[in-house]
Each structure stands twice: as structure tokens, then as C-alpha cells.
Structure 1
Amino acid sequence: MVADTLALDGTLLRLKLNRPKANIVDAEMIGALDGALAAQQDNRDLVAVLVEAEGPHFSFGASVEEHLPESCEQMLKSLHGLVRRMLEYPVPVLVAVRGQCLGGGLEVAMAGHMIFAAPDANLGQPEMLLGVFAPAASCLLPGRVGQARAEDLLYSGRSVSGADAAEMGLVDAVDPSPEAAAVTYVETHLKPKSASSLRMAVRAARAGYCRQVIARLDEVEALYLDELMSTRDAVEGLDAFLAKRTAKWENR
């Protein structure tokens, strides 16, 4: 599910998503990631985390089955708990993206501090195509790409390449080998630093940003659970996706 190893003399925690097919972000994956991060959070020698993936794709997104009304509250709260942990993690969290990085997978990636992507990676928030919206992405995307571009991606559900994502600020670096580029960044720029001072720098740089995003996350979570999931079209879109048919919208 999630393989964890310490690299670079114990200073880099590498977490590899490994769930065929396509590393779906379901309750089990969320729990495994959150647990692996929690286990090393107080490791005083750690200077960075790298979240990467086995196989050609980072993640096709969250489990659609777990988005249905009977299970979505537990799923959403656990996913947002992972997002909060990543946002507030005491050392930089780097993410390496290949292939598809969609929906909940992109939300996890954006909760990290830096994203390294292959130029032909495919990143997007397709939730609106299913009649729902992306709660965490609604809070995270504007800070990365600006309000107007965030709204475009959130409303249209379209995806962009790694190269285009870099141009708009969605990813921080593009490299044919994003994992190697991320490791090189850690080795060059973070490993030589004092780990304790780096933790202070992370707190200083991210405190205001984290407070703002987390406050918004609570708001959009309530909007999703209390209002969106009481609409007919939200359930229809999810049911249609699972049944592999075209959704029939009634605009209610």
C-alpha cells in the first residue's frame, strides 16, 4: 500500500504509493500515508519527505465508491485529516508525479510543499464531471495558480500537462525523472542544513498559509457534506460513473 524507507543517511523519508491499479486514494491508502507520516514526525534527523508512486501513474484519484452518501463523510474527514497533516508537517514534503495525477491524488500532491512532475504528466480535478466539487482543491489551488486559473480548472474539470502545470505554478519543477530531481533537491539544498533550524524555518514560512487553508477546508467540507450531498445531481453523477453510463442532470 505505502512503502516507507529512510534514505540519504536517514534524513529523507521516502513514501511510495503502491496499490495496483493506479494508486486509488481510498480509506486504506489515506490511513497508510497518515500513519507513515505520523511515525516519523518527531524524527529529529529528518529534513524532508518524498511522496512518490510505484507504476506509471501517481494516482487516478479518490475512491468514487467511498464518495457515495453513506460513506462520504468518513472518507472526506479522513482525507482532510491527511491534508492537514501534510500542510503542517514539520519538514518539507516533496511530491514526485508521473502519469495521471487526478482528483484526490492531486489534492494529496498539493498538500505537499513542492511538486516535481514529469513533462508529460497529466494533472487535474475532474470532480465536476461527476457532478461534485473538489473540497481540498478548492482551498489549495488558488494559492498555487491564482484565483482565475483555479476556477478554470475546478469548474471545467480539465487536465493539464506537467509542462503546462509548471507554467501556471501548479508544479514547482519539471523533469523527466521527477523522483531523482526531488532527491537531488533534498541532497543539495536541505540535507546540509541544521534539521532543527529547518523545522523552525518551515513553521515561520507556513504558519499563516496553513491557518488560512485549514479554516477554508472546514468551510468547504461542511458545504460538501451538508448541502452538495443532499442534491439529486451529485448522487446521480456518482451513480452514473460507477454504472459506466452518461449522467442525466436535473439541475437540482
Structure 2
Amino acid sequence: MTGPIRTARRGHVLEVTLDRPKANAIDLATSRIMGGVFTEFRDDPELRVALVTGAGDKFFCPGWDLKAAADGDAVDGDYGVGGFGGLQELRGLNKPVIMAVNGICCGGGLELALSGDIILAADHASFALPEIRSGTVADAASIKLPKRIPYHIAMEMLFTGRWLDAEEAARWGMINQIHPADQLMEKAREMADVLASGPPLVYAAIKEVVREAEDMKFQDALNKITKSQFETVEKLYRSEDQLEGAKAFAEKRDPVWTGR
């Protein structure tokens, strides 16, 4: 696929590149395209991992396209399936998503990054929520960020709009790893390949349990598992892959995962 969103399949990995010069900002049309891309990724059994990055070496994504808004794009318009950026509200996405942040990542761009499961960043990447300066609220970040990093740091970012460099973002646990800019995609692809070689049904079970248990008490979530109330967990326990894992261990070989 070409246009504002470029995609490439590499084995079981789908690489998604946001490519809207000059800054990779997202307008309504781009958001709808992204929703379609991530929906197809979710529903394609051959795809196991998504790797998301931005084109160029300066911007990952600054979020909402204010120029498009000035030309008539409504901030409460139709973002398409999955909400803004196609990921934040996409139901049933039980596959790993890696974000390779290659530059400025702010506003809705940071909210997009937080929608991933693993965030790798170039050493020159920077992060902020500048919505406060334009009199708006970073809605998704207000929900997500205080659960991901220390509360006081999240609130400082939301209240002041101040920037974090990659080192500070890593220190607070916002991102997983920092890499030299010219090595970022190589390292991200290495991680994607590691995940793509793993058991897809286990990933699905992990993501569903983590997502559903977020607002549950520990014992309630555990009881839901033991009572067979998580669809992905039950599918895993009844799968060929479950048997394959046990066989491979007994035979001292690497398992061959099929997702069945």
C-alpha cells in the first residue's frame, strides 16, 4: 500500500509507516485508512506482529493535523474504525504491536505510541503532550499515561506540556529501549521477528487477559480464567499449539507454532 500509510508484509510481520510530509500528522482521512490497515492486520491469520513507525528521521507523529482542522476537518469527526489512528479503540486486537519512534512523538502521536505493546525509540526521539497550550485535553493520554508511568510525572506532562527526551522517557518506563537512529528499524525488526516466531495463541491470551483485567480485582480476574470465561485462553488450552509446546519440550526441540 502507498499513500499516507505505507505497508509491507515481511513474513508474519506487517510493517506500517505513517508517511504524510512534512510531519506525519494524522487527519480524518488518514485515520480512517489506518483503521482499515489495523483491522486487516487483526483479522489476517498469517500476520502475527505489527511494526509501526514514521517516515523520515525527524517526526514519528505529532498527532492531529491542525492544518487539516483549519481547512474543515472536525476534531470530533469520523476517525473510522479503531478511533484516532486506528488503534486506540480497535476491539479484539490480540496481536503484539511494536512502535518504533523515530523522532518527535507528541499529542495524538504519543497517544498512538501508547496504543502499542512495546515502544522502541531513536536516541533523538522526544515526547510531549502539548494540548494544554492550545486549551484542549489529551483525552486518551489522560486515561493511559498515569497507568503507565508514575502519576506525578504523567500529571506534570499533562499540566505543563513539557518535553521528555528519550533517556527520561526510558527512565520513567514510558519506552522499552533506546537505539541509535540508524539502528532503530534493525532493532525493531529483530524484536518483531522474535515475537513472530513465538506462539500466537499465547500472545492472544496474554493481551485479552491484560486488557480485561485492567479494571478488575486480582481474584475476580483469576476466577474468570479458572471458570473458562476468557475466549482466547480456552482456545489456547484446546489447541494443537498447546500440545505442540509440550511435545517440543519433551523432545528437546524448538516448537513449530501454527496458531491452531
Q: TM-score, normalised by structure 1?
A: 0.75
CA offset digits 1:38-86 (Å, max 9, x no partner): 112122232211111111211122122566798222167841864111x
Matched, 1:196 2:201: yes
Q: Distance in 2 between matches of 1:26 and 1:128?
A: 20
Matched, 1:64 2:69: no
Q: Distance in 1 between matches of 2:48 and 2:28?
A: 28
**Aligned counterparts, 1:31-110, within 5 A:** 31-56=32-57, 57-65=59-67, 71-74=74-77, 78-79=83-84, 82-85=87-90, 88-110=92-114
- Of 87-96 and 147-156, deviating more is 87-96
SS at match of 2:109: helix
Cα drift, residue 138 of structure 1: 0.4
- Higher RCO (CA 8 Å, separation ≥ 6 residues): 1
Does the 8 Å contact 2:123/2:179 carry over to 1? yes
Does the 8 Å contact 1:129/1:157 carry over to 2? yes
Does the 8 Å contact 2:25/2:61 carry over to 1? yes
Cα drift, residue 206 of structure 1: 2.6
| Residues 70/30 of structure 1: CA separation in 2 closer, same or farther (3 Å cut) | closer
SS at match of 2:94: coil
Quote the residue 1:3 is aligned against: 6
What is the aligned-residue RMSD (CA, Å)?
A: 2.4
Does the 8 Å contact 1:116/1:179 carry over to 2? no
Q: TM-score, normalised by structure 2?
A: 0.73
> Rg: which structure is higher?
2
| Residues 121/80 of structure 1: CA separation in 2 closer, same or farther (3 Å cut) | closer
Alignment gaps of 5+ in structure 2: 217-260
| Residues 70/84 of structure 1: CA separation in 2 closer, same or farther (3 Å cut) | closer
| Residues 163/152 of structure 1: CA separation in 2 closer, same or farther (3 Å cut) | same
AA in 1 matched with 2:208: R
Cα drift, residue 170 of structure 1: 1.0
| Residues 16/81 of structure 1: CA separation in 2 closer, same or farther (3 Å cut) | closer
SS at match of 1:15: strand
Does the 8 Å contact 1:116/1:178 carry over to 2? yes
**Aligned counterparts, 1:112-127, within 5 A:** 112-127=116-131
AA in 1 matched with 2:177: A
AA in 2 matched with 1:162: A
Q: Distance in 2 between matches of 1:200 and 1:134?
A: 30
**Aligned counterparts, 1:80-229, within 5 A:** 82-85=87-90, 88-176=92-180, 177-188=183-194, 190-209=195-214
Identity %: 27
Cα drift, residue 210 of structure 1: 8.1
Alignment gaps of 5+ in structure 1: 212-252
SS at match of 1:41: helix
Q: Distance in 2 between matches of 1:103 and 1:73?
A: 16
AA in 2 matched with 1:201: I
Q: Distance in 2 between matches of 1:157 and 1:23?
A: 20
AA in 1 matched with 2:174: L
AA in 2 matched with 1:178: L
| Residues 70/181 of structure 1: CA separation in 2 closer, same or farther (3 Å cut) | closer
Q: May I ask how many residue pairs the two structures share in their alignment? A: 208
AA in 2 matched with 1:180: E
SS at match of 1:84: coil
Q: Distance in 2 between matches of 1:46 and 1:209?
A: 26
Does the 8 Å contact 1:80/1:136 carry over to 2? no
Q: Distance in 1 between matches of 2:109 and 2:129?
A: 9
